[in-house]
Amino acid sequence: MQHVDGNALAGPLAEFFSFDLTTAIARCSGCGAVGELARTMVYRSGAGTVVRCSECDQVLATLVETADRAWIGLSGISAIEVPRG
Amino acid sequence: MSFITRGFSGCSRERDERLPPGQTLVQDFPVLSAGPTPEVDTAEWEFTIRTESSVHRWNWDEFTSLAIDDVDTDIHCVTHWSKLGTSWRGVSLDTLFEQVETEQEYVMAHSYGGYTTNVPLDELLDGKAWVAFEFDGEPLEPEHGGPARLLVPHLYFWKSAKWVRGLVMMEQDEPGFWEQNGYHLHGDPWTEERYW
């Protein structure tokens, strides 16, 4: 099967990054817990925001923001479910 | 207009030369954490250095029986605050590495609670880094990294890992927790190595 380049992601990924992600459901890659992102534990500091699993404390995601750039890391999330329609 | 000119030149002259670019002086000690504060009992505390061939271990009593340095230094946080003339006590990494043989040149610091940060070994030696357990004459409080934290004051303060529990030698430099998520692999405040 041939692959295509990353431009093909524009449509599918727009769905994931264009709505309120706190309503999404994520799976923790550490303990396997599945739950709404809104129910995670969020630690905010000047350095960045760290999102942790409310079941096992593992880091799910990190957010780092500057005036002109931002990073999102999803190192502890194995999958995200978003509602459609 | 003359008073404005005087004001600007006055500001320029009065900037403290100990402040790296982009930093602001603070008098308090802000707390930055990536998670809950681990409560580590010194009876359970252990510090290790893991090399390619062995593991060196110290418990609290062994650790605090080593030669202890008094360290007066400035600290610089990547979130733009600096604190000048802070006082610490701790064990120099030179003392710890006297007993360690390694050919590997990079270090990953690991903390209770899971935090990691990477530092080249040569930036931890020759009087540049400590494992500190006292601040301002008092035992280091948990919110500031007690019972013991890494102190690498010539780099941004995220490199001075709180609640440090050990160092793991690495053959190549690899990013730690914040370094994987946007922050600079090295972190020199004088050249503003803040982000990728």
- State the smallest CA–CA distance between residue A2 and chain B in angstroms: 31
As a whole-number percent, the residues of chain A with pLDDT over 70 amount to 99
Place of tokens 């001075």: B160
A52 touches chain B (CB under 8 A): yes
- State the smallest CA–CA distance between residue B66 and chain A in angstroms: 33
Nearest CA in chain B to A46: B79
Predicted confidence (pLDDT) at residue B6 exceeds the cutoff of 70: no
Dihedral pair phi/psi, residue B37, rounded to 5°:
-80, 115
Shortest CA distance to B89 belongs to which of B112, B109, B68, B63?
A: B68
Helix (H) or strand (E) holding B75: strand B69-76
Q: Using 50, 70 and 90 to split pLDDT, how confident is the model at A33?
A: very high
Predicted confidence (pLDDT) at residue B2 exceeds the cutoff of 90: no
Q: What is the ipTM of this complex?
A: 0.88
The beta-carbon neighbor of A71 closest among B30, B31, B181 is B181
Q: Is B109 helix (H, G, I), strand (E, B) or coil?
A: strand
- State the smallest CA–CA distance between residue A64 and chain B in angstroms: 7
Chain B residues contacting A, CB < 8 Å? 30-36, 77-79, 114, 158, 177-178, 180-183, 194-195
- As given in the structure block, the two tokens for residue B59 are 């418990």
Identify which has the larger pLDDT, A49 or B13.
A49
Q: Using 50, 70 and 90 to split pLDDT, how confident is the model at B8?
A: very low
What average pLDDT does the segment B16-42 reach?
92
Residues B128-186 pLDDT 10s: 999 999 999 999 999 999 999 999 999 999 999 999 999 999 999 999 999 999 999 99
CA atoms within 13 A of residue A65's CA, in its CB half-sphere: 7
DSSP secondary structure code for residue B20 in this structure? P
Residue B5 confidence (pLDDT): 46
Place of tokens 């793991």: B168
Residue B172 confidence (pLDDT): 98
Residues 6+ apart with CB under 8 A from B34: A43, A45, A47, A48, A50, A59, A62, B115, B177, B178
Predicted confidence (pLDDT) at residue B28 exceeds the cutoff of 70: yes
Helices and strands: H and E segment counts in chain B: 3, 11
Residue A15 confidence (pLDDT): 74
What average pLDDT does the segment B28-39 reach?
88
Predicted confidence (pLDDT) at residue B109 exceeds the cutoff of 50: yes
Q: Which CATH number fits domain B45-191: 2.40.50.100, 3.40.470.10, 3.40.50.300, 3.90.420.10?
A: 3.90.420.10
Predicted confidence (pLDDT) at residue B3 exceeds the cutoff of 90: no
Predicted confidence (pLDDT) at residue B7 exceeds the cutoff of 90: no
Contact predicate B193/B78, CB 8 Å? no
- State the smallest CA–CA distance between residue A18 and chain B in angstroms: 22
Q: Using 50, 70 and 90 to split pLDDT, how confident is the model at B110?
A: very high
Report CB contact under 8 Å: A59, B35. Answer: yes
Identify which has the larger pLDDT, B82 or B12.
B82
Report CB contact under 8 Å: B178, A64. Answer: yes
